[in-house]
């Protein structure tokens, strides 16, 4: 696909500096771009590449002041990074919209209701009484269990598994290999030391505009629903246990795990490999540092924690700084003790 600078400017509400008819056919990083490529400049450490890039068009922020002439046509926007993300998203939408139809072999139950402009890839399975909205893209090898509902414009990448009774909202993206609605980890200990499985009869509800990375697992509720609220973004390899609630626009990085029945607020940011115990509450806009272990509720919003067990971010960093200085402090204490002993000995000698 070919676009001119003026067409791109309309898409991202930008202002053209240079040739409005400059054409691009692909995207590239600014340091690698060639003629016909579109790039963006947002990070100051790449400033030199703005003046040497071979890109035909570069998206830049309104606030940036040129220090020398630029060969490329510029498109000025309030935020270059956000504008470039919007443009990539529109490009991706154009590419996926071309996918329409049902490939064979695939299985679609006669009781399933399929919307318009839907794509179903080969070897997909769509069970009884499934409801699929308009413009949904279901890639090869996907399993959709009985009574599942999928909203408009949602994309399920290859190998996604959505178990029975789960609800997936509109404009959701679930990447390859993720499992939605597997059984929660519920086992009741018995007197003889064995464990009896507790049936998991709830479901998972994923609200609108959620994105879930590859090989993530979101367990169904024991009763009721495990819920991922609108706008939440989950990275690859994440475990969300039964009856968890993830708040609106919360982001969770890779390899994090959330134990059962924990309630996470809105706009929370959770770093990679963080672990959160069950049956606690995380307030809105909390920042949880990577590899933190959260063992109790965080009730105050707009706070940051780190460490295991996790505690106040600033205090923990101060403690870590003190810990690094312990060898030097020990040496100084030893020297002070030696000096005190010497002074005591001198005083005794004077008195004698």
Residue with token string 């402090």 = 329
**Domain spanning 3-97, CATH class:** alpha beta
CATH number of 160-309: 2.160.10.10
- For the chain, give every domain's residue range: 3-97, 160-309, 322-352
Mean pLDDT of the chain: 94
What would the pLDDT profile of 108-117 be if each residue is shown by its tens digit?
A: 999 999 999 9
CB neighbours (10 Å) of residue 98?
7
Residues 6+ apart with CB under 8 A from 84: 40, 42, 59
Which pLDDT score is estimated for 350?
64
Closest by CA to 205, choosing from 183, 227, 222, 173, is: 227
| Cβ-proximal residues to 299 (8 Å cutoff; 6+ apart), any chain | 281, 283
Q: Of the candidates 177, 239, 245, which has an alpha carbon nearest to the alpha carbon of residue 206? A: 245
Q: Check pLDDT > 80 for residue 152.
A: yes
96, pLDDT greater than 80: no
Please tell me the distance from the alpha carbon of residue 155 to that of residue 166, in angstroms, as a whole number.
15
Residue 283's alpha-carbon distances to 269, 288, 298, in angstroms, are 11, 11, 6
Contact 67, 85 (CB under 8 A): no
Tens-place pLDDT, residues 260-294: 999 999 999 999 999 999 999 999 999 999 999 99
Structure tokens at 52: 């040497």
Rounded to an integer, the average pLDDT of 151-159 is: 97
Which helix or strand (DSSP H or E) is residue 212 part of?
strand 211-212
Q: Which is more confidently placed, 93 or 140?
A: 140
Mean pLDDT, residues 92-115 = 91
pTM of the model as a whole: 0.81
Phi-psi sector, 31: left (phi>0), alpha (psi -120 to 50), beta: alpha
**pLDDT > 90? residue 1:** no
Residues forming the active site: 242
Helices (H) and strands (E) in the chain, counts: 5, 40
Task: Please report the pLDDT score of residue 310 as a whole number.
Answer: 80
- Cβ atoms of residues 150 and 136 within 8 Å: yes
* pLDDT at site 351: 63
| 328/9: higher pLDDT | 9
The reported pLDDT for the residue numbered 325 is 84
Task: Report the Cα–Cα distance between both ends of the chain, in Å, rounded.
Answer: 100
Predicted confidence (pLDDT) at residue 86 exceeds the cutoff of 80 = yes
């Amino acid at each position: 696909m070919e676009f001119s600078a003026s067409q791109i400017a309309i898409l991202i509400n930008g202002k053209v500096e240079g040739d409005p008819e400059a054409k691009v056919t692909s995207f590239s990083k600014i340091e690698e771009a060639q003629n016909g490529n579109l790039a963006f400049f947002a990070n100051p450490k790449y400033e030199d590449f703005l003046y040497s890039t071979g890109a035909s068009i570069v998206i830049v922020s309104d606030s940036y002041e040129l220090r020398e002439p630029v060969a490329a046509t510029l498109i000025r926007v309030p935020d270059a990074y956000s504008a470039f993300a919007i443009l990539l998203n529109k490009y991706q939408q154009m590419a996926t919209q071309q996918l329409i139809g049902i490939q064979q072999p695939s299985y679609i139950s006669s009781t399933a209701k399929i919307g318009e402009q839907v794509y179903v890839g080969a070897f997909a399975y769509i069970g009884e009484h499934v409801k699929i909205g308009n413009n949904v893209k279901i890639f090869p090898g996907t399993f959709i269990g009985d009574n599942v509902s999928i909203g408009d414009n949602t994309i399920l990448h290859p190998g996604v598994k959505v178990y029975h009774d789960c609800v997936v909202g509109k404009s959701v993206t679930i990447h390859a290999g993720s499992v939605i609605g597997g059984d929660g980890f519920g086992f009741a200990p018995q007197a003889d030391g064995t464990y009896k499985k507790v049936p998991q009869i709830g479901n998972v509800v994923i609200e609108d505009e959620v994105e879930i990375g590859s090989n993530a697992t979101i367990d169904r509720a024991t009763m009721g629903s495990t819920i991922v609220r609108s706008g939440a973004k989950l990275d690859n390899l994440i475990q969300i246990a039964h009856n968890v609630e993830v708040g609106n626009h919360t982001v969770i990085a890779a390899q994090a795990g959330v134990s059962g029945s924990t309630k996470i607020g809105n706009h929370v940011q959770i770093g990679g490999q963080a672990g959160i115990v069950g049956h606690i509450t995380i307030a809105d806009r909390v920042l949880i540092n990577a590899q933190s272990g959260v063992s109790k509720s965080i009730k105050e919003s707009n706070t940051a924690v780190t460490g295991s067990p996790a505690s106040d971010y600033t205090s923990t960093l101060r403690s870590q700084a003190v810990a690094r200085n312990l060898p030097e402090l020990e040496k100084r204490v030893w020297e002070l003790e030696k000096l005190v002993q010497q002074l005591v000995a001198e005083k005794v000698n004077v008195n004698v």
